[in-house]
Amino acid sequence: MRYQSTRGGAANLSFTEAVMTGLAPDGGLLVPADIPDVSAKLDAWSSLHYCGVANAVMSLFIDDIAPDALTDLIARSYASFDHPEVTPVFTSGELHVLELFHGPTLAFKDVALQFLGNTFDYLLKAQGAHLNILGATSGDTGSAAIAGVRGRDNVDIFVMFPDGRTSPLQERQMTTVPDANVHALAIEGSFDDCQSILKAIFRELDFKAEYSLGAVNSVNWARVLAQVVYYFVGYFRVGHDGPIDVCVPTGNFGNIFAAYVARRMGLPLRRLVLATNANDILARFFRSGRYSRGDVHLSLSPSMDIQVSSNFERYLFYNLGCDPGKVRSVMETFEATGDAQLNFNTRVYDEAFAAGTADDAATLGAIGRTWAEHQYLLDPHTAVGVAVAEDYRAQAGDNVPMLCVATAHPAKFPDCIADVLPGVPATHPTLQALESMPTRKTVLPADVDAVKSVIRDARR
Ligand SMILES: *Cc1c(COP(=O)(O)O)cnc(C)c1O
């Protein structure tokens, strides 16, 4: 399989090149040259274990890693999950929940980052190279990136976070990791300061080249690919003979884009129901065809407090007939004005999608109702999805099963759960164990040179 940029400036890249490049040089995202139709294989795949499905799906898109090596990468990536099915489906009555939170940090990003971390390490070893990953987190995503590469020989990771401004739990998830290649940098400043430092360092091309700096951002194609797998697994476990709907709590559009790829591969997903919190740029788009930036609102589901969704451009590429010229023109308009109108006259922008929004009150309502009806605890991100899914099913008025995607374990958000359901414990042994573990962090002023010197000193 070859890869090309959504904006036309790069083409004919191998999978390895696509993974190591991340963002295309023309500012576009990398997409496969075509998406194979696998409808004829679904029966045969339906009884496979998670890793078998992963092999079947991923090997269609990866032809430059030997089959045995790919099988081994997949097996090692998902051995770190605490459930034998990796992403099991919980069912109670009409509620079906695809649990993506059984990885080491209890959030769905582990599914992609465990695979990406192993793949980076494998490719770097083959090239005899070393990579320094630099990232900034407001709390939640840093730990999944750390867990993906901890203990790896050919990668060091530096994660900046605003000192004292993440939750104590989030900080412990980053600072209790003992591996020497992990550097938790507590910056005396805000998350914006961390991001400014990140951008400033990535702009220094000499430093970037000398220290082989890279990122694990959500636009890496390997992350999307790893996420396509669980839509197949989820569909098989629901066990319905015919199409189902899926509902995905959405921020950067990575997770639901993976569902879109699975649908284009022939998986019978009728509707992809996109759920947002008050940050509703995408929900508005799928109702109106107008892509227009708003202000960022803080919500109970912080990992979805995003206005501009980096993976959306990949969807546009397919939606605009794989025409890089059209993608470029829409993205240039949007980047310049914060507003792009794609379609004036239709009520539904794309038959594949439905969209809805749940504010904080609706989120809490879904947590309370789901506990009362099913004795099942939702984290606030998953609850946004469940609230939107309930609205959607009430409107659709049919019996097509709905698979709701669970993106985090509720124990990661104990305060929110305690607000709605006082007395119901939201705990997890992995998180409890962190409380007694030693922590390690480097406190630094919000200063570019301070961060650069830590990277310099870590050279091995
Ligand atoms: C990242 C994240 C999301 C949003 O996923 P996208 O792929 O960015 O749309 C939702 N829930 C949780 C818990 C997350 O960490």
CATH number, domain with residue 274: 3.40.50.1100
- The span from the CA of 32 to the CA of 36, in Å, is 10
Separation in Å, CA 113 to CA 118, 120, 422: 8, 10, 33
**Domain membership of residue 236 as a residue range:** 89-106+222-428
| Rounded distance from Cα 298 to ligand 1 centre (Å) | 15
Cβ(253) – ligand 1 distance below 6 Å: yes
Using the CB atoms, write b or e for 274-311: b if 16+ within 10 Å.
Answer: bbbbbbbbbbbbbbbbebeeeeeeebbbbbbbbbbbbb
Cβ atoms of 306 and 292 within 8 Å: the answer is no
**Is ligand 1 within 6 A of the CB of residue 276?**
no
Closest by Cα among 105, 221, 117 to 170: 105
How far, in Å, from the CA of 457 to the mean position of ligand 1? 33
For atom 14 of ligand 1, the residue with the nearest CA is 303
What's the 295 CA to ligand 1 centre distance in angstroms?
19
The first and second tokens of residue 458, run together, are 């870590």
Instruction: Decide: 216 in ligand 1 pocket, CB within 6 A.
Output: no
pLDDT at position 345, please?
55
Q: Is the pTM of this model over 0.85?
A: yes
Establish if 171 belongs to a structural domain.
no
407 found inside a domain: yes
Atom of ligand 1 nearest to the CA of 227: 7
The pLDDT score that the predictor gives to residue 347 is 66
- For ligand 1, what atom is nearest to the CA of residue 379? 13
Task: Please give the distance of CA 400 from its chain centroid, rounded to a whole number.
Answer: 26
* Pocket perturbation via mutation, ligand 1, pick of 274, 304, 305 by most ligand atoms within 8 A of CB: 304
Q: Is residue 112 part of a domain?
A: no
Ligand 1 within 6 A of CB of 105: no
271 lines ligand 1 (CB under 6 A): no
Q: What is the pLDDT of residue 218?
A: 76
Domain count for the chain, please give it: 1
- Inside any domain, residue 311: yes
Nearest CA to ligand 1 atom 4: 251
Give the pLDDT of the chain (460 residues) as one tens digit per residue. Answer: 999 999 999 899 999 999 988 888 888 999 999 999 999 999 999 999 999 999 999 999 999 999 999 999 999 999 999 999 999 999 999 999 999 999 999 999 999 999 999 999 999 999 999 999 999 988 778 999 999 999 999 999 999 999 998 889 999 999 999 999 999 999 999 988 998 999 899 889 899 999 999 888 778 999 999 999 999 999 999 999 999 999 999 998 999 999 999 999 999 999 999 999 999 999 999 988 899 988 889 999 999 988 788 899 999 999 999 999 999 999 999 999 999 988 755 667 899 999 999 999 999 999 999 999 999 999 999 999 999 999 999 999 999 999 999 999 999 999 999 999 999 999 999 999 999 999 999 999 999 999 999 999 997 6
Q: Is residue 267 in some structural domain?
A: yes
Q: Is residue 375 part of a domain?
A: yes
For residue 449, being part of any structural domain is answered with no
Tell whether ligand 1 has an atom less than 6 A from the beta carbon of residue 109: yes
Is there a domain that residue 172 lies in?
Answer: no
| C-alpha closest to that of 179 among 146, 205, 210, 202 | 146
Ligand 1 atom closest to Cα of 141? 15
Catalytic (active site) residue 109: yes
Q: In ligand 1, which atom is closest to the CA atom of 408?
A: 13
Catalytic position from the list 41, 109, 125, 326: 109
